Homo-oligomer: A and B are copies of this chain.
């Protein structure tokens, strides 16, 4: 759930802007065309906000920032865009934060895993940490796997040393 109270606010921004931002949006667009999916204006706008943020965003912050001129969106507009972006792998829901984040990696379907600082909220998506033995345990229990969520809690360097 929430962070522990933490007095030191560092939080490098990590967000995209300018050419990298439009490049990432363009790449998403291209990928949609290839997959026969539609990158519509609201979907594109939500992805843009996530890429600009460069970290986890709450749904209602997206809703508040959605409109170009300070106007908010209606909740379903943003939730539907988030559903789409998650289905296509452009974004992930971070369950333990009730937040959403642009996917850092390419289109290959990976096991999304996150390192979350419990103090400042800094969150990184990481690769290659699929749980060992999970396949075996699932098989033993008679489950066919469709996806795995890994969310690791910890302290980032600045928070640990403060």
Interfacial residues, chain A to chain B (CB-CB below 8 A):
95-96, 113, 115, 117-118, 124, 126-134, 137-138, 141-157, 160
Interface centre among A129, A132, A138, A145 (most CB of B within 10 A): A129
Given known contacts A124-B141, A129-B131, A95 and B149 CB-to-CB distance under 8 angstroms: yes
**What would be 22 A-B contacts, judged by CB atoms less than 8 Å apart?**
A95-B95, A113-B131, A115-B137, A117-B143, A118-B146, A127-B137, A128-B137, A129-B131, A129-B132, A129-B134, A131-B131, A132-B132, A134-B150, A138-B152, A138-B154, A143-B155, A144-B154, A144-B155, A146-B153, A146-B155, A149-B150, A149-B153
A112 → chain B closest CB, angstroms? 11
The answer, among B115, B144, B146, B148, for a CB contact under 8 Å with A150, is B148
Q: Is the CB of A152 within 8 A of B147?
A: yes
Given known contacts A96-B149, A149-B96, A133 and B128 CB-to-CB distance under 8 angstroms: yes
A8 → chain B closest CB, angstroms? 15
Q: Which B residues lie within 8 Å of A160 (CB)?
A: 144
Q: How far is the CA of A145 from the CA of B124 in the complex (A)?
A: 13
Q: Which B residues lie within 8 Å of A155 (CB)?
A: 143-144, 146
Q: Which B residues lie within 8 Å of A145 (CB)?
A: 152-154
Q: How far is the CA of A157 from the CA of B124 in the complex (A)?
A: 35
Known: A95-B95, A113-B137, A147-B154. 7 other contacts (CB 8 A): A128-B133, A131-B132, A138-B154, A145-B152, A147-B153, A148-B153, A149-B152
